[in-house]
Structure 1
Amino acid sequence: MRSAHEQRLPFEAPIYEMEQRLVEMEAQYAKNRAGGDNSKIGEQIRRLRRELAALKREIYSQLDPWQTVQVSRHPQRPQTRDYIDLLFDQFLELHGDRAIGDDQAIVTGLGYLDDMKVMFIGHQKGKNLAQRTACHFGCAHPEGYRKALLKMRFAEKFGLPIVTFIDTPGAYPGISAEERGQAAIIAENLMHMSGVATPIICVVIGEGGSGGALGIGIGDHLGMLEHTYYSVISPEGCATILWKGAEHAPKAAAALKFTSRDLHRFGIIDEIIQEPLGGAHRDHPEMAATLKQFLLRNLRRLIQVPKDELLDRRYAKYRKIGVFLEEAPEPSLLDPQRNGHAQSAV
């Protein structure tokens, strides 16, 4: 694994500089421990730690949309398999779609969150080149979504709640995926998830791009980690279409309004999940602990809801997304005489 120094983000430079000063001061403190008065340097260390926390809070509370995208893609950010290890007391992975194969970009299995058994489904990107190649960088093929659909039906049959983790730039766009029915299987997943009679919680843990995210993203409660995005298209894809070049991605990111704060304000998502100071990539265990509390709190609430009411609420939730105004056309547009046209009555 590459070092944190090699993977730092440009806007994090002041944080790394202060952290380096703190490391040097702590080394000096340890060196002087055997003899001498360390009280002065100890007070400097405590003050620097407070300043570092304040600096992280300031920088990460003011991220622009493109910086949020960079954080969501950070190489050290915890991925689905990291969370599986940190969240579940037991986990049994389930493989295959009974048709084509086992898409490694989608991980499915049965797990225990404390004493609660759940069906888990999540995107996986991979950590190194070999893993990322095997996972297609988190871009699932039709067999991945078909695998997810089979496990949802299994969960419905046995009354298990479903948890999905979303982390993909989009579904795999290649010819092989199209030949095997990429759009059709995602549409089938959307239709089935809207009516599966068991609680569903969806969480965007990194990138939430296009139909690839929606393929496992329909549920009763949708949460986003604080520094993630959820969008109809990636910023690079949007920039290429609108401005004919991916170099305009920061402009597209600002226009798309896809950050957790934007989507919570619009009513698209239900909850923003706080990340550790400086982002989830800086403290995997703390992020997992926060995420586990979020899941258990909402699962315990949702399993108390009768199935018919659960489905009615889910239907209403997606019916009310989006706001538009209807306005009658101006009378002049309906009057053929005023428009210079003669029309006979039919």
Structure 2
Amino acid sequence: MKIKHLTRALILGALLSITGAMSSCEKQTQTQAQAQDGQYVKKGEGALSNVMLATIQSAAYTPTLPTKATIIESPSNVLSPRTENDNQNQINAAITNLSNSGGGTVLLGSGIFRIKSPIILKSNVRLKGGGQDVSIIKRDESWTNVEGRGMLESGGYIEDLTISDLSIDGNRPESYRMSNQFPLFGIEITIDNGGTTRNNRVYITNVKIVNTGMGCHIKHTNNVILKGNYIVGNGTLASSTHSLPTFFHNVYLRSIDKAWVYGTNYFKDSPGGNGLNITHLTNLTVEDNIMTGNNFRGIRLGGSSSIILVRGNTVSSNTDFGIGLAYDETGQPQNFSIIDNTVNNNDNNGIYIPNNTKNGEVQGNSLSGNSPLNIKKGTNLTNVSCQAN
């Protein structure tokens, strides 16, 4: 009889533990037995031999992944740096020639390619270097009229664009690190037509971007992939004495359908912006990246974004929240999964879920040292679950 009572007590305790894990976002850790989804503990393994255990489930919201840009090899001759510091001319000529002939690959050799004006990106062309810190595109000090320009920028509608295996250095003076008066973009891919036409299929991989006002800004573009990039130390924070925004970031993606940010991208150490800033995206996947040391937020999911998966990232030591949702006049994100991330030592909560959020899950995340809370959630949430964090 004592054994039966003990077994019942253990079962009741296990069920209470599971219920608590599923209903509370504020729990920092939840100690529980582990089993694969949908399985029972085998017989003979204790009093819980026939009790279903709480387990981490697969993502409830799974975005559609983007289509990768088509790469046309047909390489140009390898370009070498010119001493006249007008390398944009030879690079632009090579890009234009290949684009006009159906596409191909512009190859950059080793060395520093100093530029005095933007490199204009075009459809069906890959710009490929010899590797990060091997082929370096760098702003020449004589190029000072940089407001709103990109070192690499789109020149109208773009499709099937690839940038790979090179470095971009904005050569920003130290005095401008906290000023919005040096808004030079590393990569700027937009199309300014009110969003009626969108660029399509952009692939950026193994690119290093440093010392710019905004590292990478992509807008009104579908099927975007960022893989294995090192985008560090970009962005500013300044008073709004200018017509320009107050915040600039390492990476800013907005008004995009189907984006995949994966493969250990490093978005770190922005002097005043976010590691990754998101606005108005559908079908967004952010997985296996490093977002640390940014002087604002690690990952911000903003506006009317939907169908979002944030999984397996390391987000730490940011001065605002680590991973969070934010609303604006167009609405706020919904249909999201924030799962299996490591979120540590962020200054304004680890994970932030604001008031009135709908349709999401926060589960299986490793959380520690975030101030004041590991997970902060607002009120009036609808169909938002937190468990096993």
What's the TM-score, normalizing by structure 1? 0.29
The higher relative CO (CA closer than 8 Å, separation ≥ 6) is in 1
What's the TM-score, normalizing by structure 2? 0.27
Structure with greater strand percent: 2
